[in-house]
Amino acid sequence: MKLKYFSAPYLVWMVVFIVVPLLMIAYFAFTTDDGGLTIKHISDVGQYANIFVRSIWLSLVATAICLVVAYPVSFILSRMEKHKQGTMLMIVMLPMWMNFLLRTYAWMTILGNNGILNHLFGLVGLGPYKLINTSGAVVLGMVYNYLPFMILPLYSVMEKIDKSLFEAASDLGCSSGQILFRVVIPLSMPGITSGVTMVFVPAISTFIISRMLGGGSNLLIGDLIEMQFLGNAYDPHLGAAISLVLMVIILVIMTVMNQFDPDDQVLM
Amino acid sequence: MLRRTLTWAVAALAALPLLTACSSAAPEEAPEEEEESSAQTLTVSDPDYYTRFKGKGISINVYNWGEYISTGADEGTLDVNGEFEKLTGIKVNYTNYATNEELYAKLKGGGAAYDVIIPSDYMISKMIKEDMIQPLDFDNIPNFEYIMDNFRGQAYDPDNAYTVPYTWGTVGIIYDTTMIDIPPEEIDWDLLWNEDYADQILMFDNPRDAFAIAELMLGYSLNTEDPEELEQAAFKLRQQKRIVQGYVMDEVFDKMEAGDALIAPYYAGDALTILEGNEDLDFVVPKSGTNLFVDAMCIPSTARQKEAAEMYINFMCEPDIAFANIDYICYSTPHSAAFEMLDEETRESHVSYPDEEFIRDKTTVFVNLSDQANKKMQDLWTEMKSAEDENTNRWITPIFLIFCVALMIFVLIRRHIKAKKDIF
């Protein structure tokens, strides 16, 4: 019973910095400058439908790539000897020690028209290719930046899968493919759902990646919101409305996602 | 360029006595002497005026653009804020912003009280309209007399009651002389629409500057509020989008210096800095006309230390200080005495100081647009930027919808199977 009191600091934190700002966003989204109620801002969001579609699409692609890349990595990682796991995990985490902005900035130099990659292509007589300022570059930036967020939850779930389960499965006549689909994937489902959440949610609301690698012509929702608060548009009401719609979309997608979780846990 | 030559000149001057005296003095003394000379040259017109607040523990909050004041970080330059603190005993809390809009949002949000801000022309007129800045008491700013007539009573502040101009400049085109074989006097804004340089062109990533270029080409006023004209300008920008490599602001420094792009429109002062980094580049202000921007010092209505703020503004207009700043930031100065102190090369440069006739006839200063026109421009800009190339637009939406539907069906089937299983 006493333990409950230890959560008080976080509770206060949550109310002040999470619940109140959320209410303020809702308030801003439904009011005008002089305080009257309106749904104008929400309905105005409709005109940016193509930006929403593009953001969702690009972040889904990035999440899918992350999952495909991270899954085998995490599996191999979890089957390694214990002392090696620590080193490998550190290597996965290493890029995160660097500033997010700096990492994205580095890609600008790598992908540029006179950048490192095109320079290398030039040496073997290829290119130059248009690499930067494309939606592909934006996806690459998302994958690069958010990949560790996929590896870590997958790894921590897989690590707990007992090796004897695989042995039992193969004793009972499972091929390695069947082991993967009947044992590994179902048991790692919680890791997949939380990994997808942790990649998809920041990816859909990013703005600096699209600005630096998308050349400003691949607007995402994050850019749109930034324009409303710090940019030329300066319309906090519209910005709040866009944020609200984005939150609803994420909520819907996450609910769908959670259907895959065998325990029906609610992650959000 | 300018900064480098001056440093050399100062170094040479400092070394002169050493050479003539033929003494055995170690060369390490040179920097010391330099410092001394800069300290000696700092004379203010009215020392009594500046010492009024000494020992009262007053501090002022100054909010300025990044890299927009001489900080004394480079050898031989003046630490302007430090000198002000030394002279007046007023502490300066100096912070930076990156865009006018950031400044506006910060002031509008009401989180912080600033005493001196340095917004640009159109933002000033917006702030005057919204009562966000207050009239200055020019009795406290005697050094206003140095401001050139050209820069008094500009459109953004017709009675010149609110502002003291700090710097100005024009917008022009930075281009790579090795790849673009057009004589500079023939270069005009249409270079940015030239299909031969597709994917080698950078463009402003803010609607006001981007629309201004389109409006210049169409022959409209840069302050037009006519929806029809704005739409035509947007159409012009949309035509350009296909050949634009990227929409950038400060990234232009890296991209042009690295040779990632051949052509970019930008502000004259920054362009000179970029030119220093890449010898192939040149900068030209198109003859057909351009936008003239002015950044001016103002005092927000919420300022706590108005008189100290006015003292700071006056200090910034001291000839030596104005010169130190302009020498450091490479923009053009509206300060007559500081202008006289520049070397001849700079004074006659057409980039930094176009002739008066050009300024009068061919340049326009932005004023704030009405809310409606602003909104219209913003909407057109977002629409232009978010428009997809036609071939991609066709499949993204359907695939996405199909994906969603498939996901839903999958989930429903799964649930159905699960429910059945539970029955048995």
Q: How many domains does chain A fold into? A: 1
| Chain B contact set for A53 (CB, 8 A) | 396-397, 400
Closest CA to B324 of B49, B139, B134, B72: B72
CB-CB: which of A215, A217, A256 is closest to B411? A256
Rounded Cα–Cα distance for residues B208 and A206 (Å) = 24
Q: Does A233 lie at the interface with B, CB-CB under 8 angstroms?
A: yes
CB-CB: which of B379, B382, B397 is closest to A53? B397
Residues 4-33 of A with CB under 8 A from B: none
Specify the DSSP element, H or E, that contains B299.
strand B299-300
Closest CA to A257 of A171, A196, A206, A204: A196
| Chain B contact set for A211 (CB, 8 A) | 205
| Chain A contact set for B411 (CB, 8 A) | 256, 259-260
Is A195 part of a structural domain of the chain? Answer: yes
Is A1 part of a structural domain of the chain? Answer: no
Distance from CA of B147 to the nearest CA of A (A): 30
The CATH code of the domain that includes A103 is: 1.10.3720.10
Per-residue pLDDT of chain A (268 residues; tens, 9 = 90+): 567 788 888 889 989 999 999 999 999 999 988 888 888 888 888 888 888 888 988 999 999 999 999 999 999 999 998 888 989 889 888 888 888 888 998 898 888 888 888 888 888 888 778 888 888 999 999 999 999 999 999 999 999 999 899 899 999 988 888 888 888 888 998 899 999 999 999 999 898 898 888 887 788 899 889 888 877 778 889 999 999 989 888 888 887 777 776 554 444 3
Domain B169-292+368-390 is classified in which CATH homologous superfamily? Periplasmic binding protein-like II (3.40.190.10)
Tell if the CB–CB gap between B397 and A50 is shorter than 8 Å: yes
| Chain A contact set for B207 (CB, 8 A) | 232
The fold of the B53-168+297-364 domain, in CATH, is D-Maltodextrin-Binding Protein; domain 2 (3.40.190)
Are the C-beta atoms of residues B272 and B346 closer than 8 Å to each other? Answer: no
Q: Count CA atoms closer than 13 A to B202's CA, side-chain side.
A: 31
Q: Please say whether the dihedral angle defined by the alpha carbons of residues B411, B414, B420 and B421, taken in this order, is positive or negative.
A: negative
Is A81 part of a structural domain of the chain? Answer: yes
What does each C-alpha distance from B128 to A173, B51, B161, B165 come to in angstroms? 81, 31, 10, 15
Q: Does A253 lie at the interface with B, CB-CB under 8 angstroms?
A: no
Is A7 part of a structural domain of the chain? Answer: no
CB-CB: which of A112, A211, A229 is closest to B105? A229
- pTM exceeding the 0.80 threshold for the entire prediction: no
Residue B168, beta-bridge partner list? B294, B332
| Chain A contact set for B230 (CB, 8 A) | none
Q: Does A256 lie at the interface with B, CB-CB under 8 angstroms?
A: yes
Higher-confidence residue of B389 and B67: namely B67
Closest CA to B247 of B211, B205, B206: B205
Tell if the CB–CB gap between B247 and A217 is shorter than 8 Å: yes
B169-292+368-390 matches B53-168+297-364 in CATH topology: yes
As for the ipTM of the complex, it is 0.77
Buried b (16+ CB within 10 A) or exposed e, A29-62: bbeeeeeeeeeebbeebeebebbbbbbbbbbbbb
Domain holding A249, by residue range, is: 13-259
Domain ranges of chain B: 53-168+297-364, 169-292+368-390
Residue B292, beta-bridge partner list? B170, B365
Q: Does A217 lie at the interface with B, CB-CB under 8 angstroms?
A: yes
